[in-house]
Amino acid sequence: MLLNSMTRKLEEFQPSDDKKVKMYTCGPSIYLLPHIGNYRTFLFEDVLTRYLEYLGYDVKRALNITDIEDKAITEAEKEGKTLRELTERNTKVFLEELQKLRAKSPTYLLRSSSSVGQAVSIIETLLKKGYAYWHEGNVYFDPTKFKNFGKLYRLDLSRWPKEKRRFHKDTYPGNRWNLGDFILWHNYRKEDKEAYWNTSLGKGRPAWNVQDPATATQSLGFKLDVYCGGVDNLIRHHDYSIAIVESVSGESFAKVWLHGEHLFVDGKKMSKSRGNIIYPKDLVGRGCQWQHVRFFLINGYYRKRLNYTHKKFKTACNRLLKFKSMVEKLQKIETTSVKSDSKTSRLIPRLKDDFEGNMNNDLHVKKAFDALFIDLGKLLVAAEKGKVSGEDRKKAVDILKRIDQVVQVIF
C-alpha cells in the first residue's frame, strides 16, 4: 500500500505492466552540493526501488540532474567558472556520495543538458496545440488552457487573476503559487554565455519547468507508474510537469505520486542565512560512518518531518551499532540443538513477516526496523539458551541478508 499524493489515499500498488515498474525520481539542482535534507529524499526513493525489487518487480528508474538553469548560471559566474565546470564538479561529488550512502544506481541517469532535443519537441507540440505561446522571444505555458490545472496540489482556481501575468524565472523561492503563465523556453541573452543551444525554436535554452518532463519522457515514455520527489515539489513544480506532459499525450502521466517530507535541523529549516546547512561529509568528519548517515536518514517515515539534532543522530548510530552487534552474535553463537522448540521456530518467519508488514504500509522503515530489533532480540536470547537449531539460525541470518538488500545498513 502506498499513499498516493494525487488521491490522498492509501492504495494497493498495481503497475500498468504486471511486474514491470517505470519510476521517475526528481534529482538535484546541481548549482550547489546536495545537503542531508536532499539526500533524505533520494534515499527514500532508493528504499522504494529496492523494496519493489525485493517483492519481485522489475524497476526501471530514471533520475535527473538539473545542470542548466538560472541559479546555476549565476553561481558559475559568481565562482568564476564555466557552467560546465561548476555542474561537473558538483555532479561528481553527488554521485560519489550516493555510492557511499549505498544508493542503487538508477537505470537512467540524465542531465537536463542531454535532453534539450526532447524539451524542444515537447515545446513545439505545446505551441501547435495552443497550450503555449511566444512572447518577446520566450515561450510560455498558459495553465488556463489545461483542464484541472493544479489537481495534484488541489489548487483553488477561483483565485486565478483575470489579467495576464507571466513568470519568466526558472524557479521562485517560497511556498507560494505563481498565479500566471510559466516559462518553457528562454530566448538567448548575452549573460547566458555558453548556456544555450541552436534549435528549431531558435537560439536559447529550455526552462527548468520543461526539463523534468523532457528527461522523464525521453527515458521512460509518457506514462509512468511512480513519480517521486520532495514535498516542496507539490508547490508548482509537479503540477507544471503534469500539465506539460498530459497536454502533449492526452493521458494521465503517473499512476502514483509520492512525496517525502523535509528534514529540519534543531527544529529549523536549513538555509544559508541561518548557517545550519549540513552535508553528509560533515557528519562523516565527526567520526561516524556513511552507513550511519544512511540509517539516520531512512529510519523514519518518509512522509513525516525528520528533525536532526546531534543527540538524535548519535542515538541512531548507537542503535544501529547495537543491532549489528546482535546480528554478529547470532552468526557466531554455537548451536547445540538439533531442533528448535516450537515457540522459537515461530520467531524465524516473524522476522520476514514483520518487516514486510510495515514496509507494505507505505514504506514505514522505522516501524519495520523496530519490529526487527524486538524479534532479533528474542531470537538471540533463545539461541544463547540453546533453543535454536543451526538450521534455523542460518535461516534467520539469510532472512536478514535479504532484508538488507533493501535497507543496506545491517551487513
pLDDT in tens, 238-273: 999 999 999 999 999 999 999 999 999 999 988 877
Q: What is the pLDDT of residue 333?
A: 85
The per-residue pLDDT for 385 is 84
Give residue-wise pLDDT tens across range 99-121: 999 999 999 999 999 999 999 99
Q: How high is the pLDDT of residue 338?
A: 67
Query: Please, which residues have CB within 8 angstroms of residue 85's CB and are 6 or more apart in sequence?
Result: 76
Q: Across the strands, what pairs with 207?
A: none
Per-residue confidence (pLDDT) for residue 346, from 0 to 100: 87
User: Is 184 within 8 Å of 169 (Cβ atoms)?
Assistant: no
Tally the C-alpha atoms within 13 A of residue 91's C-alpha that lie toward its C-beta: 19
* pLDDT of res. 118: 98
Question: For 273, phi and psi rounded to 5 degrees?
Answer: -65, -35
- The ranges of the chain annotated as CATH 1.10.730.10 are 269-407
Q: Is the dihedral of CA 347, 348, 352, 355 positive or negative?
A: positive
Residue-wise pLDDT tens digits, 56-78: 999 999 999 999 999 999 999 99
215/111 Cα distance (integer angstroms): 8
Least confident of 169-178, 334-343, 370-379, 396-405: 334-343
Q: For residue 286, what pLDDT is reported?
A: 80
φ and ψ at 361, to 5 degrees?
Answer: -95, 65
Cell (9 digits) for 138:
520566450
**Confidence at residue 337, expressed as pLDDT on a 0 to 100 scale:** 66
- The CATH 3.40.50.620 portion of the chain extends over 2-260
Average pLDDT on 165-174 reads: 92
State residue 193's pLDDT score. 80
Please name the residues in contact with 84: beta carbons below 8 A apart, sequence gap of 6 or more: 194
Confidence at residue 16, expressed as pLDDT on a 0 to 100 scale:
87
Distances (CA, A) of 107 to 24, 110, 168, 313, 355: 10, 10, 33, 31, 26
Q: Cell numbers of 46, please?
A: 532508493
**Which fold, 269-407?**
Isoleucyl-tRNA Synthetase; Domain 1 (1.10.730)
| pLDDT value, residue 334 | 79
C-beta separation of 242 from 204 below 8 A? no
Query: Coil, helix or strand for 2?
Result: strand
Q: What is the pLDDT of residue 173?
A: 85
- C-alpha 140/C-alpha 408 separation (Å) is 44
Three-state DSSP at 168 gives coil
Check residue 69 and give its pLDDT.
Answer: 93
Decide if pLDDT at 285 tops 90.
no
Phi, psi at 259, each rounded to 5°: -135, 125
Q: What are the residues whose beta carbons fall under 8 Å from the beta carbon of 268, sequence distance 6 or more? A: 274, 276
DSSP secondary structure letters along 385-407: TT-SBHHHHHHHHHHHHHHHHHH
Taking residues 360-388, what's their average pLDDT?
93
> What percent of the chain lies above the pLDDT cut of 70?
99
CATH assignment of 2-260, among 3.40.50.300, 3.40.50.620, 2.40.270.10, 3.10.20.90: 3.40.50.620
Q: Give yes or no for a contact between 272 and 33, defined as CB atoms under 8 angstroms apart.
A: no
What integer is the mean pLDDT of 137-146?
97
Q: Which residue type sits at 180?
A: G
The pLDDT of residue 384 is 86
Q: Distance between CA atoms of 124 and 177, rounded to whole angstroms?
A: 26
CB neighbour class for 318 (10 Å; exposed up to 12, middle 13-18, buried from 19): exposed
How much is the pLDDT for 336?
A: 67
Q: Say how many Å lie between the first and final Cα of the chain, rounded.
A: 27
Residues 20 and 61 sit within 8 Å (Cβ to Cβ): no
Query: What confidence tens digit (pLDDT) does each residue in 9-18 have?
Result: 999 999 988 8
Structure confidence at residue 54 (pLDDT)? 98
pLDDT at residue 281 tops 70: yes
Over residues 283-311, the mean pLDDT reads 94
d(CA 211, CA 66): 8
Tell me what the mean pLDDT of segment 265-287 comes to: 87
**Weakest-pLDDT range from 123-127, 133-137, 183-187, 190-194:** 190-194
Residue 27 binned pLDDT confidence (cut-offs 50, 70, 90):
very high
Q: Report, in angstroms and rounded to the nearest whole number, the Rg of the chain calculated over CA atoms.
A: 24
- 332 has a pLDDT exceeding 90: no
Distances (CA, A) of 142 to 109, 161, 219, 394: 30, 12, 26, 61
| Contact in structure between 232 and 193 (CB atoms under 8 Å) | no
Render pLDDT for 230-243 as a digit per residue (tens, 0 to 9).
Answer: 999 999 999 999 99
pTM of the predicted protein model: 0.94
Of 17-26, 38-47, 191-200, 354-363, the poorest mean pLDDT is in 191-200
Dist CA 331 CA 257 (whole Å): 40
Task: Give kind and range of the element (H or E) at residue 58.
Answer: strand 58-65
